[in-house]
Amino acid sequence: MATINLKICMGTMCYVMGGADLKSVAEALPYDIKKHLSVTYSPCLGCCNEQPTPPYVELNGKIIAGVSKNNLIQILKEELANVI
Ligand code: FES
């Protein structure tokens, strides 16, 4: 059973600002992270008009802004440390 639910925004704004890269990173994660992860995608997380810092992901119900392909793995490792 997954302990981390990661939802990546694939809405237009997030997609062009790096969401496409996040999808690639999520698909290529190391097994030690991937085995705890459930990845889904959203057409819009509803944040894009509130803050100018896409792309957004939802991690176990928390919205995180400005996620990049460089910091996604670190964010997931920190979440894993908190929930395991
Ligand atoms: S397009 Fe990503 S939050 Fe709306």
Residues with CB under 6 A from ligand 1: 9, 11-14, 44-48, 54, 56
Q: Confidence band (pLDDT; 50, 70, 90) for 25?
A: very high
Query: pLDDT value at position 40?
Result: 96
pLDDT at 1 over 60: no
pLDDT at 84 over 90: no
| pLDDT tens sequence across 36-83 | 999 999 999 999 887 679 999 999 999 999 999 999 999 999 999 988
Which of 8, 14, 62 has most ligand 1 atoms within 8 Å of its beta carbon, as the pocket-test mutant? 14
Q: Are the C-beta atoms of 59 and 5 separated by less than 8 Å?
A: yes
Residue-wise burial string across 39-74, b where 16 or more C-beta atoms lie within 10 A, e elsewhere? bebbeebebbeeeeebbbbbbeeeebbebeeeebee
Give the chain's domains with CATH numbers.
4-83 (3.40.30.10)
